[in-house]
Amino acid sequence: MKMPTVVLTIFTLGVIGCAAGATAVLLGTPNPSINDNNPPFRGTLWIPGSSEIVNTSDPSFYNSLKKIPDAPRLMFDRRTGTFNTLNPFLFEADFSDGLKIEIQVNSEFETAENAEATALIYLYAVGQLPTILREEVKTIWLHKGDKDFGGGNNNLLIHHGRGLKLIDLGVLEEVFLHEASHTSLDPHHYGREWQIAQSADVNFISMYARDYPNREDIAETFPMYYALRYKTSRISQDLLQTIENTVPNRISYFDQYIPEIAPAP
């Protein structure tokens, strides 16, 4: 899902069911004019077989993590629903495709060693994201707590308590696909051409996308497109056909505007 928007020049964030951002409510207002549509899924994260789009054994662009000097940072925490200036442990993650991400770990993890060990739990999976989904990710906020992940604001938001549950469920990688779509795709693709594709398709891939068409549609649809174009062998023919039949014009949109995605080495 997406988070509320920040009053600076910051984009909305998306999490797995709500947005993390700044000033207002965490959930957008459903669009009642399209509630008669009948999407095939409630949400794309929990489709049987969709947790296989990315596997833990898949290669990763993640390369290394190094400690950098600590300094104050403005971080969003879903436990309070607020942005606060904290003094986190800071690290820089390096990826083999040339991208870098600053990892900001809440000082509640007590030591730099604990902070680094916790960050390392997630960085391989972040590196499994295609380059296009990390291009706008400049920072990662990492807190304790069992709260939704988030995307947007050039950031990925991680709450470690929830992260451990997602790992146990085998969907951590797919959650990052959703959230990083908010971060790197939303700012560039919610425009007239996307709206034309939405209208031509009539339907949505999920109820979540249908209810929040200007906030969740891309983050719900792109992982299905990624599966269709790059992970065909991982999902059933029935699911592939459902994707093709439900959002053919959005598929054509991504074919036109998303460059070919190179796999991790």
191 and 235 fall within a common domain: yes
> Could you tell me the pLDDT band of residue 131, with boundaries at 50, 70 and 90?
very high
140 and 76 fall within a common domain: yes
Query: Which of 38-52, 122-136, 186-200 has the lowest average pLDDT?
Result: 38-52
In a domain? residue 19? no
Confidence at residue 48, expressed as pLDDT on a 0 to 100 scale: 80
The model scores a pTM over 0.75: yes
Round to whole Å and give the CA distance between 156 and 20: 10
In a domain? residue 8? no
71 and 148 fall within a common domain: yes
Range of the domain at 115: 62-170
Token pair for 205: 């891939």
* The domain boundary residue, chosen from 170, 200, 223: 170
41 and 88 fall within a common domain: no
In a domain? residue 2? no
* The domain boundary residue, chosen from 170, 195, 216: 170
112 and 192 fall within a common domain: no
204 and 244 fall within a common domain: yes
What's the structural domain count of the chain? 2
In a domain? residue 83? yes
- Cβ contact 130:95 at 8 Å: no
- Cβ contact 139:169 at 8 Å: no
In a domain? residue 149? yes
Query: Which of 38-47, 99-108, 202-211 has the lowest average pLDDT?
Result: 38-47
What is the mean pLDDT of the segment spanning 127-139? 98
The phi, psi pair for 111, rounded to 5°, reads: -130, 155
* The domain boundary residue, chosen from 170, 203, 227: 170
38 and 93 fall within a common domain: no
CA angle 259, 262, 264 (to 5 degrees): 145
78 and 162 fall within a common domain: yes
66 and 39 fall within a common domain: no
In a domain? residue 194? yes
Tell me the sheet residues that pair with 187. none
CA nearest to 258, candidates 215, 226, 212, 231: 226
In a domain? residue 264? no
Other beta carbons within 10 angstroms of residue 253's beta carbon come to 22
165 and 118 fall within a common domain: yes
What is the mean pLDDT of the segment spanning 25-46? 62
What is the mean pLDDT of the segment spanning 13-27? 32
213 and 251 fall within a common domain: yes
- Reported as a single tens digit per residue, the pLDDT across 47-106 is 887 778 999 999 999 999 999 999 999 999 999 999 999 999 999 999 999 999 999 999
39 and 66 fall within a common domain: no
The average confidence (pLDDT) of the chain is: 88
The phi, psi pair for 106, rounded to 5°, reads: -50, 140
In a domain? residue 118? yes
Complete DSSP assignment for the chain: -BPPPPSSS-PPEEESSS---SSS-SS----GGGTT---SBS-GGGSTTGGGSS-TTS---EEEEEE-----EEEEETTTTEEEEE--EEEEEEETTS-EEEEEE-GGG-SHHHHHHHHHHHHHHHHTS-HHHHTT--EEEEE-SS---EEETTEEEEEHHHHHHHHHHT-HHHHHHHHHHHHHTHHHH-SHHHHHHHHHH-S-SBHHHHHSTTTTHHHHHHHHHHHHHH-GGGS-HHHHHHHHHH-HHHHHHHHHHSPPPPPP-
Say what percent of the chain tops pLDDT 70: 86
